[in-house]
Amino acid sequence: MKAAGRWCILLGCAWLCLQVFFLLRIASMGFMAPESTSFERSQIWQVLTRQGQLPWRQSWVDESRISPSLKRAVLASEDSAFTQHQGIWWDALEKAWDKNVKSKAQAERRAQRRGDAKPAEAKIVGGSTITQQLAKNLFLSGERTLLRKAQEMVLTIGLEAFLSKRRILEIYLNSVEWGEGVFGAEAAAQHYFRKPASALNAWESARLAVMLPRPRYFERRAQSPYLASRAEVIVGRMNDVVLP
């Protein structure tokens, strides 16, 4: 029992040290751009393993050099309440939970009707805010576990405590994936429209924003009817968004 207690204390101390490390990293981002994110590093490894070369596009730009249209489009598409919540949008999480429960139940009913032993995997709705997405991309893996989600919550609170909303959005837009090996607004603008991020218009911005949940999928389906119709919806919502 004593040995088990000591192990628990050591694990607790290690966890606290890890949180201090994370918080120090977050605090440094107030004046230094992160060199890379955990998600980017994992993608580098996958691309190198699969292709043997690294077609990589990323160029950090100040938030003043990112089109306000792109900021509005991303917020309208990903997190319309960005300036209102403290990092975690509980209403969105609750709605996402309900949708996932219903989606799983529907998948199980379809499997029963077809006589399948195992139901098809249901579509998972995230409900994460931009701050939560940034926390995950900066530090965590893509696995879906309660422990990882709890750590994401802690990091989200840290980001909101140490950084301004404007800085959080700036880091997010400079590090989010927009295609295979395409990271950040500047790289995405050059890759898809051959222009700087500062010159993107409303329609181009909406197209990029709609790609965010599945960037590699839409990169291969640039003429997708869904992409075009959804972009029109986002254009209509952009003026309702409040920028930080």
pLDDT digits (tens, 9 = 90+) for 162-209: 999 999 999 999 999 999 889 999 999 999 999 999 999 999 999 999
Backbone angles phi, psi at 130, to 5 degrees: -60, -40
Q: Indicate whether 121 pLDDT > 60.
A: no
**Average pLDDT across the chain, whole number:** 85
Side-chain-facing half-sphere of 242: CA atoms under 13 Å: 7
Work out the pLDDT band at 100, boundaries 50, 70, 90: low
The stretch 115-127 carries a mean pLDDT of: 51
**80-84, 112-116, 194-198, 224-228: which has the minimum mean pLDDT?**
112-116
With the C-alpha atoms ordered 240, 65, 206, 96, is the resulting torsion angle positive or negative?
A: negative
Name all domains of the chain by residue range, CATH numbers in brackets. 37-85+164-244 (1.10.3810.10)
Q: Indicate whether 99 pLDDT > 70.
A: no
The stretch 131-142 carries a mean pLDDT of: 91
Query: What's the residue count for the chain?
Result: 244
pTM: 0.84
**39-48, 101-110, 169-178: which has the minimum mean pLDDT?**
101-110
Work out the pLDDT band at 47, boundaries 50, 70, 90: confident
CB atoms within 10 A of CB 93: 16
With the C-alpha atoms ordered 74, 79, 81, 87, is the resulting torsion angle positive or negative?
A: negative
Q: Which residue, 204, 178, 214, is CA-closest to 59? A: 178
The stretch 210-227 carries a mean pLDDT of: 91
Q: Indicate whether 109 pLDDT > 70.
A: no
Q: Indicate whether 112 pLDDT > 80.
A: no
